[in-house]
Amino acid sequence: MIAIINYRAGNLASVSNALERLDVDYEITHEPAMLDQAEGVIFPGVGHAYSAMEALREHRMDKWLRETDKPVLGLCLGMQLLYESTEEGPCETLGVIPGKLKKFDTEKGKVPHMGWNNFTDLKDHPLMEGIEADDFFYYVHSYYAPLNEYTVGSCEYLTPFASVVARDNYMGVQFHPEKSSDPGERLLRNFLDMV
Amino acid sequence: MLTKRIIPCLDIKDGRTVKGVNFEGLRDAGDPVELAIRYSDEGADELVFLDITATKEKRKTLVRLVKDIARHINIPFTVGGGIKSVEEISDLLNAGADKVSLNSAIVKEPDLITRASDRFGSQCIVAAIDAKREDDSWTVYIKGGSEPTGIDALEWMQEVERRGAGEILLTSMDRDGTKSGFDLELLHETNQRVRIPVIASGGAGDESHCVDAVHKGNADAVLAASIFHFQEIEIKHLKQSMEKEGIAVRI
């Protein structure tokens, strides 16, 4: 069973629809006890980092996420919260991956970064199996993760940033695979294969 | 590289597509879900569903339709048409819509943008603006373009941005339905003033119009209805033509 973390952050319908299209058994939950039973966890998110962290703390899911050794896939805000902190709030986040999130410079261009973008660099990782650097994924975000040793996929909009990150059992993607047509479906299937 | 988006728009009434559609091979040309899948397969980057139903049953039918669409397509879609409250927005987003577009209601009650973007995030709030040229400026029209408001369109855009809209869907009333090209001056003026993405709408007649909307109007996305429904322009071919003109597109 795959657990989808529910922390009032929206877009659960798109994630659960995507899993249904892939014929996967899933539970939407905010209970750490339920997360314990899952083989893998999808950590979605649209919304504000500060209120998302508050909601996670309220159900002690922040602690669960920090301590788990199960495969975790963060989507969009879910990915961002894996890092140490963000200018959104600003606030401290889970800190399982080093790095601080910054806001795109609105002087340089339109924010949010909204639409389909590909990769400037893509390293080998089981999550990206069968996905090419020129495959497009759908993005909507105003804050971005820095490139570092855990970056698997790099993207560029106004500045280079991490679009796919992985450290041990933690993985995150800045885009919305559940809204990214066939390449997105492939990525979700890759995650399920790793679980 | 971030690509420019091509967005077909479907008018919906009582859960069915309104404008005649002459796609070959569709079992039911009035079925929005089947058409949505078709467009998605052809390379549409997003879809917009505009509900023009005027009955009391409207909301239930629309929520049911949105659920059905969300189950079947894996690209983002926006739903609009007569949305008046945070509660309605919540229902549509929970049903699986990625964004909602707000038009007449936000002109009457601009605070709705603020409340909706605070609660759901700017990324899912699209401000739809119907603008009509009057001498040297553009005026905002509401109720499907039937009622002038006296509000200056360029000032209104800045206000919707300030209040938290994540995107602007800008329709030129002068060009809508004419197939004579987008109002490039309106697009250009708009993009001088706002820092959120702008979707150009109204006037698409051929591929060069879409190229101009990006090159001259600086549009982030191009929306059209009938030229896609009647296959006067095929999305794949349009994208190839745009790419030849140096525009980044998702192919």
pLDDT (average), residues A106-127:
96
The pLDDT value given to residue A9: 57
Please say if A59 is a catalytic residue: no
The Cβ of residue B159 has, within 10 Å, a number of other Cβ atoms equal to 15
- Do A114 and B120 make contact, defined as CB atoms within 8 angstroms? no
Q: Which residues contact A92 (CB under 8 A, 6 or more apart)?
A: A53, A84, A85
DSSP H helical segments within A45-180, as ranges?
A: 49-58, 61-67, 77-80
Candidate from B40, B93, B220 with C-beta closest to A110:
B220
With beta carbons under 8 A apart, name residues in chain B contacting A48: 121
Name the pLDDT band for B26 (thresholds 50, 70, 90).
Answer: low
Candidate from B74, B167, B250 with C-beta closest to A179:
B74
CATH architecture of the domain formed by B5-244:
Alpha-Beta Barrel (3.20)
Would you say residue B22 has pLDDT above 60? Answer: no
Neighbour-count burial of A41, counting CB atoms closer than 10 A to its CB (0-12 exposed, 13-18 middle, 19+ buried): buried
Please say if B11 is a catalytic residue: yes
Interface of B with A (CB under 8 A): 1-5, 40, 45, 67, 70-71, 74-76, 93-96, 98, 120-124, 166-167, 195-197, 220-221, 250
Question: Cα separation of B209 and B179, whole Å?
Answer: 9
Region of poorest pLDDT, from A151-155, B132-136, B237-241: B132-136
The pLDDT value given to residue A119: 98
How large a percentage of chain B has pLDDT more than 90?
A: 79
With beta carbons under 8 A apart, name residues in chain B contacting A178: 74
- Do A14 and B96 make contact, defined as CB atoms within 8 angstroms? yes
pTM of the model: 0.95
The pLDDT value given to residue B21: 56
The Cβ of residue A146 has, within 10 Å, a number of other Cβ atoms equal to 16
Instruction: Please give the tally of structural domains in chain A.
Output: 1
- Tens digit of pLDDT for each residue in A37-47? 999 999 997 67
- B154 or B120: which carries more pLDDT confidence? B154
- Do B75 and A181 make contact, defined as CB atoms within 8 angstroms? yes
Average pLDDT, chain B: 93
pLDDT (average), residues A110-121:
96
Name the pLDDT band for B59 (thresholds 50, 70, 90).
Answer: confident
Would you say residue B83 has pLDDT above 80? Answer: yes
Name the pLDDT band for A10 (thresholds 50, 70, 90).
Answer: low
- Do A116 and B2 make contact, defined as CB atoms within 8 angstroms? yes
Range of the structural domain that residue A170 is part of: 2-194
The pLDDT value given to residue B219: 98
Q: Which residue has the tokens 């192919």?
A: B251
Helices (H) and strands (E) in chain A, counts: 6, 14
Q: How far is A116 from chain B (nearest CA, A)?
A: 6
Q: Which position among A27, A76, A91, A132 bears the catalytic label?
A: A76
Region of poorest pLDDT, from A62-71, A131-140, B20-29, B54-63: B20-29
The pLDDT value given to residue B60: 86
Name the pLDDT band for B129 (thresholds 50, 70, 90).
Answer: very high
The pLDDT value given to residue B17: 87
The pLDDT value given to residue B55: 76
CATH of residue A62's domain is 3.40.50.880
